[in-house]
Amino acid sequence: QVQLVESGGGLVQPGGSLRLSCAASGIVFSIYAMGWYRQAPGKQRELVARITSGGSTNYIDSVKGRFTISRDNAENTVYLQMNSLKREDTAVYYCNVPVDLVNFWGQGTQVTVSS
């Protein structure tokens, strides 16, 4: 049974930083690409960052240079380091892994950027 558990969200002022973590179980973590998505109120869920099994990364334009996705295969964990946060980064952030054409999601963690 695939399980993804996110942590690390919270309230932060504009310009601040947060580090999200997603612990995976039930899969051979090292062979799967992992993604971080977010969904703001009234908006569609969007892919923020993705990391392949080999460590290649890609980001949406709005977070390039501010966010960094990384993975620790020994800990079965994927991270999202978020720096220089902006109000428009406010959203629920979800961890994702596609396994055999099925998307698995975590429960989400709220990130609120506000002064």
Q: Residue 95 has which token pair?
A: 């961890």
Q: What is the pLDDT of residue 54?
A: 96
60: CB partners within 8 A, 6+ apart: 46, 47, 48, 49
Regions in the chain scoring below 70 on pLDDT = none
Predicted pLDDT at 103? 95
pLDDT given at position 82: 98
Q: Which residues contact 25 (CB under 8 A, 6 or more apart)?
A: 2, 3, 76
Q: Which residues of 23-60 are buried (b: 16+ CB within 10 A; e: fewer)?
A: bbeebebeebebbbbbeeeeeeeeebbbbeeeeeeebe
**So what's the pLDDT on residue 33?**
97
**Residue 8, phi-psi category: left (phi > 0), alpha (psi -120 to 50), beta (remainder):** left
